Structure 1
């Protein structure tokens, strides 16, 4: 129950009060977390847990793909990379190959790190505009 669990309350508040950019960053971090869980599950022979973690990572990638704004040319290039990361997850799940999960994680990490830089640059611009007032 959210009311009795301070951590769950914190998580709920962090999602409901975050900007769209911060929510996207949370998706990238969540995807990476599930990929790492899948990798650990393969290494420990927990096939069901691996499959669950891969499915969660794939659901996040699907959400990221759906929310791409196709009016920007870079969205088409991003879609190809998301599809490739998703295919690595599928192959890694089928073959129980952690190296394939690493390939997917590399792509998602690049997106996450880039997105983090964009958020930081936007914050700097906002603070610069506020200080000029």
Structure 2
């Protein structure tokens, strides 16, 4: 009989009860986590692990691209940056260049931080108080 993993249950509940904005924030954080894992694996010489982590980060970027609301004017600019990030991850993976991973992480960090501020502003408007995201 398999025992339930409390952490997995918590993660599942977090995803199932999150707003769309919070889910996007989770995607950004996940992407950054996988980029860092890829860099660490690269430094350790573990090419297979680097490749796997890079592909996971790319999958998240692809998901962000697919779910981008094209009716919003800024979407075109965001799509270009997502494509750039995806290309940097691909090149970083091929060339084993940590600088390319840093460039991708920098852009995703900017998106994440901006998105976090949007969520906080919306919460302030909605509830009249500032919560930490």
Q: TM over 0.5, yes or no?
A: yes
Alpha-carbon spacing, 1:6–1:68, altered in 2? closer, same or farther (3 Å) = same
Query: Corresponding residue for 1:56?
Result: 56
Query: Corresponding residue for 2:94?
Result: 94
Residue 117 (str. 1) matches residue 117 (str. 2): yes
Query: Corresponding residue for 1:33?
Result: 33
Q: Distance in 2 between matches of 1:64 and 1:37?
A: 20
**Runs of at least 4 residues off by over 4 Å:** none
Query: Corresponding residue for 1:46?
Result: 46
Q: Distance in 1 between matches of 2:69 and 2:2?
A: 34
Query: Corresponding residue for 1:10?
Result: 10
Partner of 2:45: helix, strand, or coil? coil
Listed as ranges, the gaps of 5+ residues in structure 2 are none
Listed as ranges, the gaps of 5+ residues in structure 1 are none
How many residues align? The count is 129
Query: Corresponding residue for 2:72?
Result: 72
Residue 107 (str. 1) matches residue 98 (str. 2): no
Alignment RMSD, CA only? 1.6
Q: Contact between 1:39 and 1:98, CA under 8 Å: does it hold in 2? A: yes
Q: Distance in 2 between matches of 1:87 and 1:98?
A: 14
